[in-house]
Chains A and B, each alone.
Chain A
């Protein structure tokens, strides 16, 4: 495309190198142990009802901050990937790995790094939490923007170019609008994800770490830990209220608005519509805002902005021509140092606990699969029932959508309060939390699959005299396979996060844990402060998930999409 803007080529590399280097350098020069202990004195105050609005506000602020950061990062990355095929070959696989890695595993490490670098203050914690939420949001958004940019039809792009449209006008007329539908859709997913990790990080901060990270998650967790059920219920209701309110007031209207940016020319009525909730009075509120934005945009001096922009990029190119070598050498040195730090941390002798890593991995793996099988055990019959009752299917997908938008982590303290010391205790909690995390997503995907089964195929089988069961076996189940596998990949990978939270719990001043990778990660950060163990378990976690995705899910996905996709 004609856009010849040059952003420095080292930017993505530098970002990765910086993260690595910071992680490893923390351990080289500074022992975060004392800082971690220092920060532990920031004991959260006892929460009361009056704290709820403040807590809700803090949670929202954290989430919004992380969302804005993800937007900026995703734009840069996705734009480069969409405009430079050579970089896309590197960026897209990186995004894919980022998306499939259980980011909650990095929260202990992030606390470790941020506290190690910035000291044990509130800011370090806030940044660690926002970083965690950022890493749960950004991949999805980047894929959305990439999809939007790369699916602009070639003729549309050529048409806009042939009119001489460049610079700011090109962004306003083509690039931004083209991204709106997939950006909004993926933002909703990311936002939901963000809630999950926000609550998780607040619970971890209030639990094992005992930091002061005011938010709904910490109020919830503290209230349950003290046995204050009224406050806990109030916090839970506030949380659900806030989540649903944002869904209704922000995302739903945005989603409706974004539809007009599709290339799809078919009328809106024929599209599959899973549910319709009232769109509250937001359009009336939006109209004056839009008028204001238009007026502002009309006054925007496009020509001057373009000229300023191109002169700035020219200046930057000159500076870069002279400055790139010192910068590159510096980065290289830093990278070497970081690598050295990593190697030193990972080199034997390993702590004795490292011997339990394989067993921990196996047990965590089993827990996830038990949860997965349990989820399938109730979801498949329900989806099959829904396939015979279209109205029921629509109602169910509303339930699944609402269920999925409420962060499952919020029910974690409830589970702990109910189950700890009872009925298999921690094992039950781990599996139950994994189940609550994955079931909505699976259900949602499977229902979508069921609803896509063409009615004429079903009728043709019925006219051949097949019974309901036969139709399920011959048609519905095979037709749902692609949706089932798609849902499974995401649910299965995401559930590793639940284990980080649920294998190591502080409740009533006592630590409850089971043998598992999540427990090891938490222990390495908060109890023993053992870097080697932390890095080892993280590496093992990432390798396991990525390998399993490659070896099992990817193949299954390809096979199923090859074998079971309905034509037309």
Chain B
């Protein structure tokens, strides 16, 4: 369970305070797939970084399983739009980075990275460098890196935005498969996207943020059966209703 209680975030831009997020209260129960949508500049990514513990809120509290966050949320992991792999490390070394930070033995780290690289379909690419991979494969590596630390919560910041349509459709399916995989410890996924169809296709629940300052404008359940399809009955209605709330 991840909770935000009256969280606000403000920056000072040349001594002028700019409110990015205002009074956000949100509870994300375990085993939920949550999507955050909103216009660009509404602070979606900032909200994700707050929950990851990369930045601290100006006021309010972020709680993970009832305990307030102090620093980086070590029960969570994050996937980025730009993949954010270290170009000087091999795929395997990239995946093992979080494990080495958690002081796993070299053997355990190797075993675990092999397991997750296999899960995302990258076995055989352990020794490759990120520059040698295609965009889709890079994001698979990013996914493996996040999963390898065995997080309770997985944050994804527009993970498919840098990929071509076919690749992103494939990867979307795979993320859903991984999420429902009982072998994996990931219970909760929080994904930021600006594509409403993507949110309706994947999420149990969609939170719409309004911009300037960012606040929760709507909080909807997606009652569609899984596996979903864009031609499912009610799909367009849901997309349209979310779209109306954004504009």
Interface residues of A (CB under 8 A from B): 2, 153, 155-156, 158-166, 169, 173-174, 177, 180, 260-263, 265, 267, 298, 302-303
Distance of A256 from chain B, by nearest CB (Å): 14
User: Given A2-B72, A156-B86, A260-B88, A162 and B101 touching (CB < 8 A)?
Assistant: no
A180 to B88: give the CA distance in the assembly, Å: 10
Given the complex, which residues of A lie within 8 Å of B97, measured CB to CB?
160, 163, 165, 169, 173
11 extra interface residue pairs, beta carbon distance < 8 Å, beyond A173-B97, A174-B86, A177-B88: A155-B82, A155-B84, A160-B86, A162-B52, A162-B72, A163-B97, A164-B102, A165-B98, A267-B131, A298-B106, A302-B100
- Per-residue CB proximity of B65-82 to A under 8 Å, as 1/0? 000000111101110111
A155 to B54: give the CA distance in the assembly, Å: 11
The reply to whether A260 and B101 form a contact with Cβ atoms under 8 Å apart is no
Given the complex, which residues of A lie within 8 Å of B129, measured CB to CB?
260
The reply to whether A158 and B87 form a contact with Cβ atoms under 8 Å apart is no
Chain B interface size, under 10 / 10 to 19 / 20 to 34 / 35 or more: 20 to 34
Q: Is B244 an interface residue (CB 8 A)?
A: no
Residue among A156, A164, A177 with the most chain B CB within 10 A?
A164
Distance of B85 from chain A, by nearest CB (Å): 8
Given the complex, which residues of A lie within 8 Å of B157, measured CB to CB?
155
The residue of chain A having its C-beta at the shortest distance from the C-beta of B71 within the complex is A2
The reply to whether A155 and B81 form a contact with Cβ atoms under 8 Å apart is yes
Q: Is B145 an interface residue (CB 8 A)?
A: yes
Pick the contact of A155 from B80, B131, B155 — CB < 8 Å? B80
CB-CB contacts below 8 Å: B86-140 with A: 86-89, 97-98, 100-103, 106, 129-131
The reply to whether A169 and B88 form a contact with Cβ atoms under 8 Å apart is no
Given the complex, which residues of A lie within 8 Å of B98, measured CB to CB?
163-165
A156 to B74: give the CA distance in the assembly, Å: 17
Distance of A305 from chain B, by nearest CB (Å): 12
Distance of A258 from chain B, by nearest CB (Å): 10
The reply to whether A162 and B77 form a contact with Cβ atoms under 8 Å apart is yes
The reply to whether B74 and A159 form a contact with Cβ atoms under 8 Å apart is no
User: Given A161-B54, A165-B101, A169-B100, A260 and B87 touching (CB < 8 A)?
Assistant: yes
Distance of A215 from chain B, by nearest CB (Å): 38
Given the complex, which residues of A lie within 8 Å of B85, measured CB to CB?
156, 159
The reply to whether B106 and A261 form a contact with Cβ atoms under 8 Å apart is no
CB-CB contacts below 8 Å: B204-223 with A: none
User: Given A162-B78, A163-B145, A265-B130, A153 and B101 touching (CB < 8 A)?
Assistant: no
- Per-residue CB proximity of B212-236 to A under 8 Å, as 1/0? 0000000000000000000000000
Pick the contact of B84 from A153, A166, A180 — CB < 8 Å? A153
The residue of chain A having its C-beta at the shortest distance from the C-beta of B130 within the complex is A265
A302 to B80: give the CA distance in the assembly, Å: 27
6 closest cross-chain pairs (CB), A and B:
A163-B98, A159-B84, A164-B101, A155-B84, A162-B78, A165-B101
